[in-house]
Amino acid sequence: MFDNICKFIAETFSTDFAAWLLGEPITFTELSPKELSLEPIRADALILLQSDEVVLHLEFQTQPDANIPFRMADYRLRVYRRFPQKRMRQVVIYLTETTSELVYQTSFRLENLRHDFTVIRLWEEPTEIFLRTPGLLPFAVLSDTDNKTGTLQEVAAQIDKIADRRMQNNLTASTAILAGLVLEERAIQRLLRREMMRESVIYQSIINEALEEGRVEGRAEGREEGIQEKAQQIAINLLAEGMSPEVVAKVTGLTLEQVEKLQLTEGDRQN
């Protein structure tokens, strides 16, 4: 889930990322790994963006990964094979604090071969960096701040000033999900408006992804119950978030009667 959020933000606000990582607000378009030679390496948060002169390669990680150095070297050579005239900037961004030495690896070495890349550990980055542009706001709470709740409150205030409703919704949802890495859900819900999260593209994407997982699990087990159980669990979660039974029924594929029954059951359980 966190991988998808980071990919969505970076691709939607690529100019903000370029200003941060390259020092200039370059406009990028997506570069699909399929455009490079060979099959793409399995990478959940692989993001390739390109302009006429530069390719920006981003990898977001919640956990240390020993394969990162090789992946950086491999993709550098792939891009050179396809675009020998373009320079390339490669950045690994670690989201959550860890004591692992892996997050300090900035090069791949093999006999006489050496390839260097950049590593950013968000918990060491100044918070001010992420408050300057809309596209970086969701990462502010993961930065070097002693008051994460206060930082989230400041981010929420910045988002409220954005005139574009669609952008507001998407940034709110993205911020809420990433904040879940370091803050309790209660604090997040108190500072970020739920209705804005529910209207966001990324929120709907997560719901659809969860539903699809349920369908795959159901098919793999050869049981329709797998799909039904997953849909019911998603419905319970959405009802807990305050979504109306009518909308929950539409999103999950359950009947309105089934959703209302779940609502009553959960209400009785809590009482």
Average pLDDT over residues 206-226: 55
The set of residues, in sequence order, having a beta carbon less than 8 Å from that of 67 and lying 6+ positions away, is: none
Are residues 233 and 195 both part of a single domain?
A: no
Are residues 111 and 134 both part of a single domain?
A: no
Are residues 54 and 73 both part of a single domain?
A: yes
Nearest C-alpha neighbor of 89 from the set 10, 2, 167: 10
**Where among 199, 215, 246 does a domain terminate?**
199
Are residues 106 and 207 both part of a single domain?
A: no
Are residues 185 and 256 both part of a single domain?
A: no
Range of the domain at 97: 2-124
Name the pLDDT band for 58 (thresholds 50, 70, 90). Answer: very high
Are residues 15 and 35 both part of a single domain?
A: yes
pTM, two decimals, is 0.73
Are residues 114 and 159 both part of a single domain?
A: no
pLDDT value for 207 = 56
Phi-psi domain of 111 (left: phi exceeds 0; alpha: psi -120 through 50; beta: other): left
pLDDT value for 105 = 96
Q: How many domains does the chain have?
A: 3
Are residues 6 and 119 both part of a single domain?
A: yes
Neighbours of 60 (CB within 10 A): 25
Are residues 58 and 20 both part of a single domain?
A: yes
**Where among 182, 199, 216 does a domain terminate?**
199
Q: Which residue has the higher pLDDT, 262 or 129?
A: 129
**Where among 76, 102, 124 does a domain terminate?**
124
